[in-house]
């Protein structure tokens, strides 16, 4: 169902944020915005898959890039563009998490294998699906911290900024997530 892009270098990718594309997008240039979208859509879609669930990932990814377009002039360059982009994406996903948790059990829905890419990264396909399913079964805040820190490579301080949570709280969620994940994978 999805194709997998190779992993991106963490620090170098974030440092090389596309200033010119952002500036032109802020001026209302749709061609520049499309290029910005194509640069980041893989990361944002992966985030939406893991935090929003396979069934809503495409819709959430669209919502994120529409919201980024409407908010891009508020980006002032005082943080890396990717961090700001993830913050916008996280707000969209969090709204969805709140409404989803009221509507139905996430475990029954998100742990479905069907929505996950069948192709492999460097992890064996079955092991990877097991890991993705175990991650999907974590409580929302623990999963948010783990996905942003251990998979998407942000530091605790950056995760705190993205999620609007104190760094100490992020550390606590992260440690809980790892402990739960280790327990669930060892069953």
Partner 1 sequence: MSDHPSDTTLQLHADGELASAERWEVERHVQACPACAREVDAYRQLLGRASELPRAIEPTVDIWPEIERRLGEAAPLSPRRGRGRRNVWSVLAAAAVLALGVALGRLLPRPVTGPELAAPLPVQTPSVLVTYDEAGYASAIAELEAVLREVGDRLQPETVATVEENLAIIDRAIDEARAALLADPANDQLHRQLATNMQMKIGLLRMITDAVTADL
CB of 159 to partner 1, least distance (A): 12
Interatomic CA distance for residues 149 and 36, integer angstroms: 23
Q: Counting contacts by CB under 8 A, is residue 42 touching partner 1?
A: yes
- Is the CB of 10 or the CB of 139 nearer to partner 1? 10
Q: Contacts with partner 1 in 113-132 (CB under 8 A)?
A: 117, 121-123, 127-128, 131-132
Cα 54-59-64 angle, rounded to 5 deg: 110
- Select the residue interacting with partner 1 from 33, 52, 110, 143 (CB under 8 A): 33
Task: Name the H helices within 27-80.
Answer: 30-52, 57-71
How large is the angle between the packed helices 30-52 and 81-103, nearest 10 degrees? 40
Interatomic CA distance for residues 136 and 130, integer angstroms: 10
Q: Counting contacts by CB under 8 A, is residue 164 touching partner 1?
A: yes
Q: Name, in order, each residue with C-beta under 8 angstroms of 11's C-beta and a sequence gap of 6 or more.
A: none
Interface contacts to partner 1, rule CB under 8 A: 1-8, 10, 25-26, 28, 30, 33-34, 37-38, 41-43, 45-46, 49, 57-58, 61-62, 65-66, 69-74, 76, 78, 84, 87-88, 91, 117, 121-123, 127-128, 131-132, 135, 146, 150-153, 160-161, 164-167, 169, 175, 178-179, 181-182, 185-186
């Amino acid at each position: 169902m999805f194709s997998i892009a190779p992993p991106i270098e963490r620090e170098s990718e974030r440092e090389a944020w596309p200033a010119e594309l952002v500036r032109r997008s802020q001026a209302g240039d749709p061609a520049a915005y499309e290029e910005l979208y194509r640069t980041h859509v893989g990361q944002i879609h992966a985030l939406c898959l893991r935090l929003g669930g396979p069934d809503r990932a495409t819709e959430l990814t669209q919502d994120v890039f529409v919201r980024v377009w409407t908010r891009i002039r508020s980006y002032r360059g005082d943080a890396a563009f990717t961090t700001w982009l993830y913050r916008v994406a996280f707000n969209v996903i969090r709204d969805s998490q709140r409404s989803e948790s009221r509507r139905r059990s996430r475990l029954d829905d998100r742990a479905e294998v069907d929505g996950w890419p069948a192709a492999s990264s460097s992890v064996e396909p079955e092991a990877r699906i097991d890991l993705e399913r175990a991650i999907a079964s974590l409580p929302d805040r623990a999963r948010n911290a783990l996905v942003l820190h251990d998979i998407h490579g942000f530091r605790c301080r950056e995760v705190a900024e993205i999620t609007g949570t104190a760094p100490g709280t992020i550390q606590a969620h992260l440690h809980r997530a790892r402990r739960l994940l280790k327990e669930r994978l060892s069953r």
